[in-house]
Amino acid sequence: MADLAPEKLKDLELKANKIRQLIIEMLVEAESGHSAGPLGMTDIFTAFYFHILNHNPKNPNFSDRDRLVLSNGHICPVQYATMALSGYFPIEELKTLRKINSRLQGHPHRASLPGLETTSGPLGEGLSQAIGITLARNLDKKNYYVYCLTSDGEHEEGNTWEAVMFAAKNKLNNLIQVIDRNYIQIDGNTENVMPLDSLKAKYESFNWNAIEVQGNDIKSFIEAIEKAKLEPNKPTIIIAKTIPGKGVSFMENDYHWHGKPPSKEEAEKALSELKIEEEKLNA
């Protein structure tokens, strides 16, 4: 891929800022949901939907599309906001998050919304689902990529590592997993709850191609994806170090925001900070 033009990068950064504003507006309207993870993963979702993925919001189920599997489904507000901004459904619908009869459930429900590849809920299942999709891809002799987004916390579960072994054994080089390495979960810092580092060394010992990157740097993340595509014989893990609550000063790196929404007053403060950053980007 050619170097990312400054104008394109600025456009992606502005889109990420808009998505963060939409996330805050959704959560305060719903009065429930997760704040830290969606804000932290916004740059990655922006990179996927507006630069990396082969997808079509007007024809979301075409057979050669890339597949994006969200394993840590509780961060779905960022997926919904990104999908709406890219044209899958009206932005106004975001205000129905977690409401009765809404298509925007608290975890993604595949049958409710075109453009979702899987239904998620219990953590630790997404990588196995992505492996199944990759095996089907190979049987069908297709050329699309399968991307699986996971949390660091779900790497405390054994079924994740069974999937890791299986993918390496079968040399699924068209499978690229991205870990949201934000070091938080609902009970605190991951390294206090159940130490995970070094994830890079662990994955390499399981015969995966492992790449570490700053997940809130859009350009670096896109470069990591391109590097992953060059691997001929192994699945790739991109360990994306992100800042939970990114863009909102009082949420950043605070695990208490893992699973709660902002109040109206907190939302106003958060949106004010994000709009100031938007003005800086437009300057």
Structural domain contains residue 235 = yes
Nearest to 200 by CA among 189, 186, 210: 210
Strand ranges, E, within 17-87? 67-70
Distance CA 89, CA 154 (A): 30
Q: Looking at residue 48, which CATH number applies to its domain? A: 3.40.50.970
Q: Which residues pair with 210 in a beta bridge?
A: 237
Could you tell me the CA-to-CA distances from 72 to 45, 62, 144, 223, 233 in Å, in that order? 13, 25, 22, 23, 26
Written as one letter, the residue type at 147 is Y
pLDDT tens figures, 111-120: 999 999 999 9
Strands, sheet with 209-214, edge to edge from the N-terminal-most edge strand: 67-70, 146-151, 175-181, 236-241, 209-214
How many beta carbons lie within 10 A of that of residue 217, not counting itself?
A: 16
pLDDT by residue (tens digit) across 85-136? 999 999 999 999 999 999 999 999 999 999 999 999 889 999 999 999 999 9
d(Cα 107, Cα 24) in Å, to the nearest integer? 17
pLDDT of 1: 47
- pTM recorded for the entire structure: 0.96
Stretch 137-166: mean pLDDT: 97
Q: Which domain holds residue 51?
A: 6-282
- pLDDT digit string (tens) for 50-87? 999 999 999 999 999 999 999 999 999 999 999 999 99
- Nearest CA among 210, 200, 240, 201 for reference residue 222: 240
Asked if residue 1 is part of any domain, the answer here is no
Q: What is the DSSP string of 48-71?
A: IIIII----TTSTT-TT--EEEES
Q: In Å, how far are 111, 165, 202 from 176, measured between CA atoms?
A: 24, 14, 16
Q: Tell me what the mean pLDDT of segment 189-213 comes to.
A: 97
Number of independent structural domains in the chain: 1
What is residue 149's three-state secondary structure? strand
Q: What percent of the chain has pLDDT over 90?
A: 96
